């Protein structure tokens, strides 16, 4: 409906779109469906991928794929025992994009904090 740019920030599938009941839900006539009304919005949250595509369109999705590829490059350049740990964390985060709102929860924030700590901790070479 709003391709390729999307409907805009906080308009579909996110907690903000539920809290403020996005005007897009009125356009789509979600108020007629049980669980999608203002009084009973229990089914309005969606998976992260659906939320992201609806809000930011295909152009935003292309940028997101670029960010994922940058993370994979950073992980592949890392050597040692922690590389497997970070890769597993990252693959779980990417897999959960299709099933839940993992990235926007406190657990997702902790996951990326751990990944950033491990990836940003470079060993210093001794000065000669």
Reading phi first (left if > 0) and then psi (alpha if -120 to 50, else beta), residue 56 is in alpha
Please report the pLDDT score of residue 3 as a whole number. 83
39-53 pLDDT, tens digit each: 999 888 878 888 888
In the chain, where the domains are located:
1-68, 78-127
pTM of the full predicted structure?
A: 0.74
8 Å CB contact between 5 and 52: no
Q: What is the pLDDT of residues 85-98, one digit of tens each?
A: 889 989 999 898 88
Q: How many CB atoms lie within 10 A of CB 27?
A: 11
């Amino acid at each position: 409906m709003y391709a390729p740019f999307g409907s805009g920030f906080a308009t579909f599938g996110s907690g903000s779109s539920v809290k403020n009941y996005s005007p897009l839900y009125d356009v789509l006539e979600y108020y007629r469906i049980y669980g999608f009304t203002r009084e009973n919005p229990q089914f309005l949250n969606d998976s992260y991928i659906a939320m992201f595509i609806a809000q930011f369109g295909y152009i935003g999705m292309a940028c997101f794929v670029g960010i994922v590829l940058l993370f994979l490059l950073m992980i592949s350049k890392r050597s040692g025992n922690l590389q497997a740990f970070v890769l597993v964390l990252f693959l779980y985060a990417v897999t959960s994009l299709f099933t839940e709102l993992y990235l926007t929860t406190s657990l997702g924030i902790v996951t990326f904090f751990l990944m950033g700590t491990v990836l940003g901790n470079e060993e210093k070479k001794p000065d000669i």
